[in-house]
Amino acid sequence: MNLLDEQIDDLQVQLLRQWRLRYRQVGRDVGRSGMSDAEILTLLHHLTRPTFFSIDDDFADPGLRHPSYCIVYLYVRPREAALYVRRVLHHPELNTQAKRMGTYVRASYDGIRVWRRNEAEQAFPWPEASI
């Protein structure tokens, strides 16, 4: 399940819908509006293998990684969130749920940085033909 933080605005959500990417959003489809960061982390533990996308700086911590979910911190302008959600989901290193589980990802204009359990941080550029 792809889960969006409620801070991702309606225009970005509409773009994802137009691109036919499946997602749910905190406060609309899952959980409740105004959930604290701690409540969101608890929610992630109760969902089945979610990939959580956030633009909230409170999620800019690789120490948040856990084997049962993936957190993607989008270090981009909020108006570009949908584009980078799509780029992450299509990146060869993260294009399946199995590849994402247990990882913390920081997506930025330069590429992605991935932290996996018991592994060193890895950096990957965006593919040439990236969406």
pLDDT in tens, the chain (131 residues): 999 999 999 999 999 999 999 999 999 999 999 999 999 999 999 999 999 999 999 999 999 999 999 999 999 999 999 999 999 999 999 999 999 999 999 999 999 999 998 889 999 999 986 55
Give the contacts of 120 (CB within 8 A, at least 6 positions apart).
Answer: none
> 15: number of CA atoms within 13 Å, CB side?
15
| Residue 82 to residues 5, 10, 114, Cα–Cα distance (Å) | 12, 10, 19
